[in-house]
Amino acid sequence: MRKRIITMTSMKKNKVILGLSGGVDSTAAALILQENGYDVTGLYFDVTPEATASGEGRRRAEKAAEQLSIDFVYRDVSRDFEDIVIGDFCRQYGCGRTPNPCIVCNPEVKFRTLLEAADSLGAHYIATGHYADTFHDEGTGKWYIRKADNVRKDQSYMLYRLGQEAISRLLLPLSNVEDKEQVREMARARALENSEARDSQEICFIPEGDDYKEFLRRRGLRPPGGDFVDRDGNVLGQHGGILDFTIGQRKGLGIALGKPAFVTAIDSDTNRVVLGSNEDLFRREIFSEENVLTNESWLEDEGLTAKIRYASKPAPVRLERVGDDRIKACFDEPQRAATPGQSIVFYKDDLVVGGGFIASRGKKEDSR
């Protein structure tokens, strides 16, 4: 953690509200903050009524706070989470897109809750166990999310939609942690019960072992079956509904064509799923919507890179504003399986300078 100077004032500049899940990452973040002289309060929030009713997550986080000897506060955000995150998750899949709920949750629920708790408790800072960093440009006064030292664990992609208020008050203690084993060693050294805890599941509101397709169907999302077609519109067969597919998918298509076939497009208006070759998945130009930019001047900057999914490598890109809302990203090298609903995130060196939701090819869909 790159330590910030602590100035003791009536604003309680050393007090920080930490998102405490009870997992090893957030616990290690608390330990690092304590070592750097911060007065830490752990905040845990439930995102579904079922989680609130069971209390399991809350008890785990409370236990971690007790072992850390820090204050603990709790919030039930299930109503907002339902409206903002789960509602969007269902709408996006219904439109043939593949959403990333954490991207929506971070600015609208998680960090908003942290900021509200910080304001109510008189804390200047907020913190999480994300593997990322922040940077302040003194020339412009702007704050940026910056990549973590650990490139393999870097989560800067997930934080690109955070606003200036959140970033300017954000501490990310795991920014220069080398690997997960180092985090576990911190917990072991304090004999903390969660030192060997598994990493959290990918979609927090879907029960472990459950399937997102069944979750959507239980929510009443049951699009009718439709046609498999090739890129020229020729019918190849039938499918049971667009929920079963995502861009780039090869396995589980339920159709045999005698050669490898991949999902290259999904049309929710006609319930058609377009199949093609692996080569059909590559695109040099990718459009994004609902973009956020730290500074509009970055659009004209050279030397930018972009990622079209969390695990992909940043690739050289040129950006161009198209209309009021869209940005066209032009890559030097074609990118594989750009998936509508996922995010494209723009970088200048190690700084996150903006991003947006990948748009469906050839048309603008206003679903959010």
Cα–Cα distance for residue pair 9/22, rounded to 1 Å? 30
Distances (CA, A) of 132 to 29, 149, 161, 305, 318: 12, 8, 14, 17, 24
Cα–Cα distance for residue pair 89/82, rounded to 1 Å? 10
Estimate the crossing angle of helix 56-68 against helix 24-35, to 10 degrees. Answer: 30
364 residue type, one letter = K
Active site residues: 105, 204
Distances (CA, A) of 209 to 20, 52, 82: 24, 20, 21
Distances (CA, A) of 309 to 28, 244, 284: 27, 20, 15
Cα–Cα distance for residue pair 343/357, rounded to 1 Å? 4
Identify whether the C-beta of residue 174 lies closer than 8 Å to the C-beta of residue 133: no
* CA neighbor of 187 nearest in space, from 176, 179, 178, 196: 196
